Structure 1
């Protein structure tokens, strides 16, 4: 008898740690309810995501959900913060990436923002980086807004890495020498550490 692997939806649902009882924030609403999104994670209204872009010095600390809907203005702030800092190109960041960050924040009880090493990368930027380094994939999910490289000051990188692996939500890379963890919404896989 062969066993079937758990679906990504089931793994993510089991991994989600929800925070409830926080006040909701006002803002524009995305038309589709969270239940209609591709990501199976769900979060309480008022769930916050804090990011600090190490290249630009910009920060956001936003509420992503209100009345069961993703807040469009908060999403736009995040998309802008995670732009390609080399070219200035802004690209929509996959909701699944943001959901992974929310799940990591809740799972680890983080109060500090994620420090972002890399979010979106334009194809031209990615090609330059791939030509200069064997550690950059030529077909990187960063070019689709489906990947992010992060760390949290004061948190052991191995703890962040292990928590990301436990989510089972996509690819997880461990870059000890560069001091970051890569998470993406591609197939479940791991590399490094």
Structure 2
């Protein structure tokens, strides 16, 4: 089933109602990503993973509805790159990334440093990296991602995420990434 991003807006109810039926019945599922991208309200992401060298570009939502196959692809792509374990990513994290790209008016892919992190990996990093890894990291809940955008100053990426006020934002200039999450609004 699809998951809503926000309450439906009256002008989109007819399209989304039909679109939701198409998704559930599988009519849209066989469509290639370019076909999905041409539909009204398509929300897309492009990601390059710095540790696995994988690339992914897809439509993750149509209007207010998430695309289930895209969520599965994103869960796999953002797996723990140390253990290979995939977690369930919070779909609203993808909306946050989409909004950041819109805020910055850029199209280039995010470079992903870290997505999902298993509890075992999180504990190992916490005890071997001399700090900087939270004991109860939102990465373990699939609610956090560490990213950068090539060609965009790191401070601009941080500021765009902060301006949205949609979750936590951590700034790591030495390591060259910004942490964003769908937890409480905070900054560090």
User: TM-score range with shorter-chain normalisation?
Assistant: 0.7 to 0.9
The TM-score with structure 1 as length reference comes to 0.77
**Which residue is 2:118 aligned to?**
122
**Which residue is 1:82 aligned to?**
78
User: Do the aligned partners of 2:43 and 2:63 also contact (CA within 8 Å) in 1?
Assistant: no
**Which residue is 1:188 aligned to?**
185
Is 105-114 or 172-181 further displaced after alignment?
105-114
**Which residue is 1:99 aligned to?**
95
**Which residue is 2:17 aligned to?**
none
The TM-score with structure 2 as length reference comes to 0.79
Q: 5 Å matches for 1:1-193?
A: 30-35=1-6, 45-66=41-62, 68-133=64-129, 134-191=131-188
Structure 1: how far apart are the matches of 2:183 and 2:64? 25
| RMSD (CA atoms) | 1.6
Runs of 4+, deviation exceeding 6 Å? none
Q: Unaligned 5+ residue runs, structure 2?
A: 9-39
Number of equivalenced pairs: 156
Is 61-70 or 112-121 further displaced after alignment?
61-70
Please identify which structure carries the higher helix content: 2
Structure 1: how far apart are the matches of 2:63 and 2:100? 22
Q: Unaligned 5+ residue runs, structure 1?
A: 1-29, 38-43
Q: Please list the CA deviations of residues 51-82 of structure 1 after superposition, one character each: whole Å capped at 9, or x if unmatched.
A: 11110011111012235421111111111110
Q: Please list the CA deviations of residues 112-148 of structure 1 after superposition, one character each: whole Å capped at 9, or x if unmatched.
A: 1000000000000000000012111111000000000
User: Do the aligned partners of 2:122 and 2:140 also contact (CA within 8 Å) in 1?
Assistant: yes
SS at match of 1:182: strand
User: Do the aligned partners of 2:148 and 2:178 also contact (CA within 8 Å) in 1?
Assistant: yes
Structure 2: how far apart are the matches of 1:33 and 1:74? 14
- Cα shift at 1:36: 5.5
Higher relative contact order (CA 8 A, sep 6+): 1
